Amino acid sequence: MVEVKDFRGAGEPSSAEAAKIEAQRAADEKARADGAARGAAHHYRLGELCPTAQLNTGHRIPLVGLGTWKSQKGEVHDAVVEALRAGYRHIDAAAVYGNEQEVRVAPCLHVRRPPVMRLSKRVWVGEALSQVLSEGVISRDQIFVTSKLWNSDHHRVRDACLKTLSDLQGLIWGVTWVPTCNITTKGPRPHSGRSGPEVSPPLSETWAALEALVSEGKVRSIGMSNFSPKKVEAILAGAKITPAVLQVEAHPYWRNDKLFNWASSKGIHVTAYSPLGSPDSAAIMKRSADAPSPLKDPVVQRVAEKLGCSPAQVLIRWGVQRGTSVLPKSVNSERIRANLDAASLVIQPEDFQALSTIEPQTRMVPGTFLVDAQNGPYKSLSELWDE
């Protein structure tokens, strides 16, 4: 998986940027007033209401983003519109999700979808962005977008990223992630819709191709997903650019402490996917339906009761308070807003410590689909994660 992200630059704004921000603020207030006048339920908020972290590239990443993995056909468009109206400024997508065209900036360019995930209605992620941008509520440079280069495209990095940019119709990307498996993988193939082993070039070559995209201005920052410290170190040995972000599974049931501490020491920001423990992926990941869940953990529920919020909000705030960005996925309007509201909560030190010491630690997304005992470079989960 490879991802791409973008946001406004770091540092103090220039006079022109300040004027633009002020104009945007006025437009935001007008949109709110117009919405109230027509009895709309939308509540427009500026991106500044969501905390951000500065990447080693100088760009800033909003700490709460909308995840789009596993969203059903047609749902992503409405979820993205709702999220942006609610105040989200970070959208996480991927070519392999089969929904990037639902997130793209404008619907005018027709691009054939990967056969692996056809939609009966061609409603695009970029159409959602286009819709909100056209309302004048936010400007394009306020939105941070993440996408991913899938394992099957390591030999055609530039073409794959240009396809993603095409699907998203002109978005300027900030972070491109590199997948874990590089030689043989079992994951779905966006370009063919098939599953099965496939040979790819060395990760160092893939990374060099991503670095070239930064030089071209196609990508603002590049990073990795599902990499262990050992695998990142191997690439850093010959890299020109240090990864800006490392996206991995992280929540109180799988804190990923070793990786988190290592990344922090290297100045690499960590983004947590599945911050709620991926409760809707039990069948996909072959977990028992009654397996322990962070949402049902007594410590999480106790803190939620204390704060007067939901367990999901506790998990989201725990990730934000820890210093990671988080990507909760939802297509429900109320939950989308509640997830963003969680960023403003404060977990007391004793409760944060209790959440940060839950045992045992268990991956909810173990990565078995990236392991191939016969033909793959990683014949076991221990080889995949270097554990």
CA atoms within 13 A on the CB side of 91: 34
Q: What string of H, E and C letters represents the secondary structure of 211-231? A: HHHHHHCCEEEECEECCCHHH
Which residues participate in catalysis according to the annotation? 97
Q: How many residues belong to the chain?
A: 387
Among 211, 163, 148, 207, residue whose Cα is nearest residue 182: 207
Q: Tokens 């990565």, residue?
A: 367
H or E element, residue 67:
strand 66-67
CA 125 – CA 180 distance, rounded (Å): 26
CA 240 – CA 225 distance, rounded (Å): 18
| Pair 355, 252: CB distance under 8 Å | yes
Please name the residues in contact with 270: beta carbons below 8 A apart, sequence gap of 6 or more. Answer: 245, 246, 247, 248, 250, 256, 259, 260, 263, 264, 323, 324, 325
Q: Identity (one letter) of the amino acid at 7?
A: F
Please name the residues in contact with 217: beta carbons below 8 A apart, sequence gap of 6 or more. Answer: none
Q: 214 is written with which tokens?
A: 């930064």
Give 147's strand partners: 176
Checking DSSP bridges between strand 269-273 and strand 325-327, what pairing results, if any?
A: parallel
Which residue pairs, CB below 8 angstroms and at least 24 apart, start in 296-300? 297/252, 297/253, 297/358, 299/252, 299/354, 299/355, 299/358, 300/252, 300/355
CA 198 – CA 182 distance, rounded (Å): 9
